[in-house]
Structure 1
Amino acid sequence: MKAVFDDSKPIFQQVAEMIADDIVDGELEEGEQIPSTTEISKFYQVNRATVQKGLSLLVESGYAFKQRGVGIFVAEGAKSRLLAERKEDFHIQYVKPMLEEAKRLQMTKEEIIHFMEEKYDD
């Protein structure tokens, strides 16, 4: 878990994204218990209500589930769903604008592929 917040969006959303990052990175496995609200609030040094709101966001999105009296756990399929969602976001945010610019520069498909293959391992 990283503990750096910015002003781009509410802290509870950033907490939810950081936990989702841990799921994507394999630091939290499917079926594994997510640290408690108290543990997370101490780690990030934020209000427990803020953390609870972030955890609720994960539960509402289906990436986590509550087990009454025990805690919150990573849901089955959460990692694959998060990866699919983030790949789509990557396409929209980076690939689509890149291809639009490549077309504007009159680059061929082959040039784009060659450029990507050449730079991918750098």
Structure 2
Amino acid sequence: MNEQMDDSKPIFLQIAERIENDIIAGILPEESQAPSTTQFAAHYQINPATAAKGVNLLVDEGILYKKRGIGMFVADGAKQVLIGKRKDQFFEQFIESMLREADKLGINKEELIEMIGKGVRSK
């Protein structure tokens, strides 16, 4: 939880995204306890209700679940669900726009594959 908050995005969404990132990275394995809303509120100096809104977003999506009196836990299968969600977002945000731009520029499939390969090799 060392990252700074981004003023351009609602804080509760950033809280949810940070939990998602930790699940995908394996920092929060399935069935492990997630940080509490109190911990988020204290660390980021935000209202506990704001932190709870981000956590509850993930509860509503089935990524986290509540153990009464104990806290929030990562649901079984959450990592795969999040990876699938992120792949869909990646396609919508990057691939579709790249294909539209390639079409505008007259870049054919072979050229596009070559360009992607060049980008991969340069990493």
What percent of counterpart residues are identical?
47
Counterparts of 2:73 and 2:114 in 1: how far apart (Å)? 43
Counterparts of 1:90 and 1:116 in 2: how far apart (Å)? 15
Give aligned pairs, total.
122
In structure 1, give the amino acid aligned to 2:32.
Answer: E
Aligned to 1:56, what secondary structure does the other structure show?
Answer: helix
Answer with 8-17 or 83-92: which moved more.
8-17
Structure 2, gaps ≥5 residues long = none
1:88 aligns with 2:115: no
Corresponding residue of 1:75: 75
> Where do residues 1-122 of structure 1 align in structure 2 (5 Å cutoff)?
1-121=1-121, 122=123
In structure 2, give the amino acid aligned to 1:3.
Answer: E
RMSD of the TM alignment (CA)? 1.3
Q: CA deviation at 1:33?
A: 0.3
Structure 1, gaps ≥5 residues long = none
Q: Quick check: 1:33–1:74 contact (8 Å CA) kept in 2? A: yes
Q: CA deviation at 1:43?
A: 1.4
TM-score, structure 2 normalization? 0.91
Q: CA deviation at 1:3?
A: 3.2
Counterparts of 2:105 and 2:31 in 1: how far apart (Å)? 48
Q: Quick check: 1:22–1:28 contact (8 Å CA) kept in 2? A: yes
TM-score, structure 1 normalization? 0.92
Q: Give the ranges of 4+ consecutive aligned residues of structure 1 lying more than 4 Å apart after TM superposition.
A: none
Aligned to 1:42, what secondary structure does the other structure show?
Answer: helix
Q: CA deviation at 1:2?
A: 4.0
Q: Quick check: 1:3–1:44 contact (8 Å CA) kept in 2? A: no
Counterparts of 1:37 and 1:12 in 2: how far apart (Å)? 11
Deviations 1:71-121 (A, max 9, x none): 100011111111111111111111111111111211121111111111114
